[in-house]
Amino acid sequence: MLLIPSLALLTIGLIGSPFLLGVINRTKAISAGRKGKPLLQVYFDLIKLLRKDVVYSRTTTWIFRAGPIISLAGLVTGMLLMPHGGSPAILAFSGDFVLLFYLLGIGRFFIILAALDVGSSFEGMGASREALYSALTEPILFAVLVTLVRMTGELSLSAMIIKMSPDFWAGSAAALILLIVILFILLLTENSRIPIDDPNTHLELTMIHEVMVLDHSGPDFGLILYGSALKMWIFSALLTGLVIPLRSGIFWIDLPAFLAGMFLIAIGVGIVESTMARLRLLLVPRMLVGATAIVAVCIFLTLK
Amino acid sequence: MMNNPVIALLLLIPLLGGIAALLIRRDNPRRALLVSVAGIHFLFSFTAEGAPSLHEGWFALDPLGRLFLCITSTLFLIVSIYSLGYLARERSLEKEVRTDFESHSMFANGPESLLTACLLFFLTAMTLVCVSNHLGLLWVAIEATTLASAPMIYFHRRQQSLEAAWKYLLICSIGIALALFGNFLLAVSTATLSGGEVELLLGDLLDQAPLLQPTWLKAAFIFLLVGYGTKMGLAPLHTWLPDAHSESPSFVSALLSGALLNCAFLGILRAMQILNAANLAAFGQELLILFGLLSMGLAATFILHQRNFKRMLAYSSVEHMGILALGVGLGGAGIFGSMFHAVNHSLTKAMLFLAAGNILAKLKSKSTLDITGLSKSMPVTAALWLCGFLAITGSPPFGSFLSEFTILKAAIDQEHFVIAVAYLLILSIVFIVMGTIVLHMYQGSPLVEPDLPRERELWISVIPPAVLGSLALILGVYIPPFLQRMLAEASQQLGGAL
Amino acid sequence: MSDLIFVLLILTGFVFLGSGRLQFSIRTLALQGILLGSIPFLGSLQGLMGRVTFIASMSLIIKGLILPYFLTRAMHRSKAMHEDHPYVGFTASMLVGIVCLGVSFWLTSRLPVIESKPSQMAIAVAFFNLFVGLFVIMSRRKALTQVLGYLVMENGAYIFGVAYAIEAPFLVEFGILLDVFVAVFVMGIMIFHISKSFDHIDTDQLSSLVE
């Protein structure tokens, strides 16, 4: 019984995550005064990529082929662990958040390995940058989760999110606001958005994530594109869980609230991308350490 | 309040004098104003015993405050007389382009009216420190002394003195910000009293001291000690002292070393009074002994390499502040020794700085290596310099011998043998090092340039330090009853005895 | 609500540690001043006497408007817009700030709770600002940044006083404000002299006075 809303939400997520990317792109276009790509453009891109042939360089090994597959596998499994709105996830147990983010971590690890496998220094440059940023964001991410654990007293991600009712909000508003800000910064960082990385850049020296996946072709690239959509969905779902504290228990109220939240977050990301410029590469660690500082403040607040 | 307005006059006269000094354009009236204000202040502070308190006990002259006020006033009077000669000479030299003898860059002096005004404001602020019975007001006064004295350090507008003045202003303000924290912690420690919070009036605090929350009180003491200790020159926060005291004009250095450091010490002593009344004296004493020995040790280390005799004197001040802290930390007879030593040190250090000023003015060098044969080129000043050295290092028959001996005896009586040995060791090191430097400067034949005219030393530059020296000498043989009484009452306030 | 202000005060402390742009730091200092000045007004309004309101508004005006204006003028006159090479880099400074925050909370936990007083968080914030101010003074070169560090320290002490509603008499409160104002005034004049005399305000170059 309980599984049906969760399954429904999971399906919506699996199918609808590219739509989220479309919303972001459309927001950027509107604020730039353009008409922009169609909202379903990412789907068309995916279909186009899947129909293409794949080309493998002679210098690569099985890692290169395995990279996108492992990454996607990790992300889909992560979707199983991710609670959406007021409904628990398909798989929920104590400490599942550790598994979730390490699944994401494994995916990233193999993408990085695949990039290094190519043997070109160009992909290597992107890989090293990506590794640096993920090394900086991982402590922040886990600090956020630990704070949430302390605040809610629950060890399972689903239980934590379900506890986020308006009453809870009234009690620890300051810490939650800070956590939301940090999570938003993390969302931007993990999904390679401005101000950390520009997804639309065609200037090679400014690429971070794009350059890592430069060599994947056809279906592989399609898998990676779909994977990035799923990643955006997962982070947005976590953020929505905190931002929209509506827990009426009625599926037909929670679902639209949840979707509305995701939509708003996508628009928010689009606005941030349109209004800010990308940070200088050297300043990104400083910003991330600043985020660490804010998380430290949160932790101390909840310790009191 | 108005039947005996001594305290009010003690504060208002220098303040108004300072404002007037800014407005008077001609030198002679201004200098006359300076000396007369100093004289009036001197008279009032010595006759102010038993003056009634003002404003519900905010301004009161208890024995401890009176002791430091008298020291300050005496020093100020004598220094202001000396300054007449100094300023007159500076004024006459203004016609020529001055070059700094160390860096050979040109410099000018700041306006003399500003200097005089700052001197008088400085006197006002120090008087305020001595008469404040409210710890918040005490804080304001000590900060005011910093602000009044910083421009004086920069009187000779050279790059080094600017640097020294900046360091002084910044580091002392930091210390005083820490002391403000201490004041607030102290206020919170009164929150547990049944009548609610009390104001930081010393009398009330002493009465209620056993009931104050001990942890907060201890925390407050630490902050007050570190904060006011910075201003006093206790290690490790003394780093501003050598620069500031060596770069300012010599008579300003005399005031800074002889009067200002004492007033900062007064802040710590007030906190110590409260600790005593709250039966937490041991806590404070340990810290004082620690900082005292640390200051002495650091001073002795740095004095080893000195090539600048004014810096040497500044490090000697750090050492003596350490001795003062050590004396109070030992308790009992050590407190009496400490109070007596405050008197001796002020007199002697001021004398040394004034003599140094004479040497600097005549020979235009601060180097300890270059200057020799003072006994031939400046006999009177040289004699003062030598006697000053003997006095400051605690040789009999000067007063400092008695005071330092009293502290030593207190250490031995309490069986703190390690402390006593360390104390003696450091004093000996300083004696040897300073002796080497001073004797090198005193003996031998002068390295003066042949065309430097052999002037007679001016009376006005020699009599003031001579007076100070004679006082220090007399105190070594005979302590006048009024002084004995003042010292005894002051130490009793701090829980000591003879 | 007051919790939110305290969190903002902590965040401004981190801004001082992490930013090298002087104009931005001065604006943040102004923000701190405004936050501090508004804390007394957050409590129950019926307890506000005219005197407290006066002091609070004075400190708001002085710390939020006058001092930042004065500092900005000093900054333009000495032509120092950037803190270029601090002794401790900005990222490392922020990490040190996190440690200081931990130490502040630890120190606060060691002080016993007084029932009649509001939450201990104010003390932790006060300690934090004290440490941040001290660290900024020690790790930065430009004299103007050191003045900012001093003001942050004063703000820390002030947070303590204000949040705990320590009833200091009017004279003392006024005296404290006046002292800070005059201190910054004198410092500003000295910075002007330094920039004229040395052509810069890097204090690490003020090193002709060595042991």
pLDDT of residue B48: 75
Are the C-beta atoms of residues A103 and A78 closer than 8 Å to each other? yes
Does residue C80 have a pLDDT over 80? Answer: no
Q: How far is C71 from chain A (nearest CA, A)?
A: 25
pLDDT of residue A165: 74
The answer to the question of residue B383 being in a domain is yes
C/A touch flag: 3 or more CB pairs below 8 Å: yes
Interface of A with C (CB under 8 A): 173-174, 178, 285-286, 289-290, 292-294, 296-297, 300-301, 303-304
The answer to the question of residue B461 being in a domain is yes
Give me the mean pLDDT over the B265-277 stretch. Answer: 91
Comparing A105-114, B321-330, B399-408, C67-76, the range with the smallest average pLDDT is C67-76
Give me the mean pLDDT over the B41-49 stretch. Answer: 83
Residues from chain B contacting residue C111 (CB–CB below 8 Å): 215-216, 219
C42 versus A251: the higher-pLDDT residue is: A251
Q: How far apart are CA C138 and CA C143, in angstroms?
A: 11
pLDDT of residue B2: 45
Q: How confident is the model at residue B262 (pLDDT cuts 50, 70, 90)?
A: very high
pLDDT of residue C49: 66
Residues from chain C contacting residue A299 (CB–CB below 8 Å): none
For an interface test with A, which of C105, C106, C125, C131 has the most A Cβ atoms less than 10 Å from its Cβ? C105
Q: In chain B, what percentage of residues exceed pLDDT 90? A: 35
pLDDT of residue A90: 81
For an interface test with A, which of C82, C96, C98 has the most A Cβ atoms less than 10 Å from its Cβ? C98
Q: Which long-range contacts (CB under 8 A, 24 or more apart) does A140-146 make?
A: A140/A182, A140/A186, A140/A288, A140/A291, A140/A292, A140/A295, A141/A101, A141/A186, A142/A101, A143/A292, A143/A295, A143/A296, A143/A298, A143/A299, A144/A179, A144/A182, A144/A183, A144/A186, A144/A295, A144/A298, A145/A97, A145/A101, A146/A299
Q: How far apart are CA A295 and CA A178, in angstroms?
A: 8
Task: State the residue range of the domain holding B286.
Answer: 281-498
Does residue B372 have a pLDDT over 50? Answer: yes
Determine whether the interchain pair B140/C175 forms a contact, defined as Cβ–Cβ distance below 8 Å. yes
Domain boundaries, chain A: 3-303
Q: Which of B147, B154, B188 sits opposite C182 (nearest CB)?
A: B147
Q: How confident is the model at residue C48 (pLDDT cuts 50, 70, 90)?
A: low
Q: How far is A272 from chain C (nearest CA, A)?
A: 21
The CB-side HSE value for C130 (13 A sphere, CA atoms) comes to 26
**For residue B319, what are the contacts with CB-CB under 8 A and spacing of at least 6?**
B295, B296, B299, B300, B303, B426, B430
A156 versus B346: the higher-pLDDT residue is: B346
The answer to the question of residue B265 being in a domain is no
Q: How far is B215 from chain C (nearest CA, A)?
A: 7
Residues from chain A contacting residue C121 (CB–CB below 8 Å): 304
Q: Which of A285, A289, A294 sits opposite C11 (nearest CB)?
A: A294
Q: Which of B159, B169, B188 sits opposite C164 (nearest CB)?
A: B188
For an interface test with A, which of C14, C106, C119 has the most A Cβ atoms less than 10 Å from its Cβ? C14
The answer to the question of residue B401 being in a domain is yes
Q: Which of B159, B166, B184 sits opposite C161 (nearest CB)?
A: B184
Determine whether the interchain pair A174/C7 forms a contact, defined as Cβ–Cβ distance below 8 Å. yes
Residues from chain A contacting residue C98 (CB–CB below 8 Å): 292-293, 296
Q: In chain B, what percentage of residues exceed pLDDT 70? A: 92
Does residue B382 have a pLDDT over 50? Answer: yes
pLDDT of residue B426: 93
Residue B135 tokens, joined: 């710890």
Which chain C residue has its CA at the smallest distance from B187's CA? C166
β-bridge partners, B54:
B59
Which chain A residue has its CA at the smallest distance from C5's CA? A174
Note the pLDDT tens digit of each residue in B70-82.
999 999 999 999 9
pLDDT under 50 in chain A at which residues? 1
B497 versus A5: the higher-pLDDT residue is: A5
Q: How far apart are CA B131 and CA B266, in angstroms?
A: 11
The answer to the question of residue B341 being in a domain is yes
Note the pLDDT tens digit of each residue in C117-146.
666 788 889 999 999 999 998 888 888 888
Give me the mean pLDDT over the B20-49 stretch. Answer: 85
pLDDT of residue B124: 93
The chain-wide mean pLDDT, for chain C, equals 81
Which chain C residue has its CA at the smallest distance from B182's CA? C157
pLDDT of residue C170: 63
Does residue B497 have a pLDDT over 90? Answer: no
Does residue B1 have a pLDDT over 50? Answer: no
Residue B95: Cβ-neighbour burial (10 angstroms; 0-12, 13-18, 19+): exposed
The answer to the question of residue B108 being in a domain is no
Give me the mean pLDDT over the B310-336 stretch. Answer: 92
Note the pLDDT tens digit of each residue in C167-207.
666 666 777 777 777 778 778 878 877 777 777 777 766 66
Are the C-beta atoms of residues A194 and A273 closer than 8 Å to each other? yes
- Give backbone dihedrals phi and psi of B59, rounded to 5 degrees, phi first: -110, 115
pLDDT of residue A71: 92
In chain B, the number of structural domains is 1
Note the pLDDT tens digit of each residue in B159-215.
888 888 888 988 998 998 899 889 888 888 877 776 556 677 887 888 888 888 888
pLDDT of residue B429: 92
A/B touch flag: 3 or more CB pairs below 8 Å: no
Give me the mean pLDDT over the C31-52 stretch. Answer: 72
Q: Which of B147, B157, B181 sits opposite C183 (nearest CB)?
A: B147
B445 versus C93: the higher-pLDDT residue is: C93
Q: Which of C3, C91, C98 sits opposite A296 (nearest CB)?
A: C98
B247 versus C201: the higher-pLDDT residue is: B247
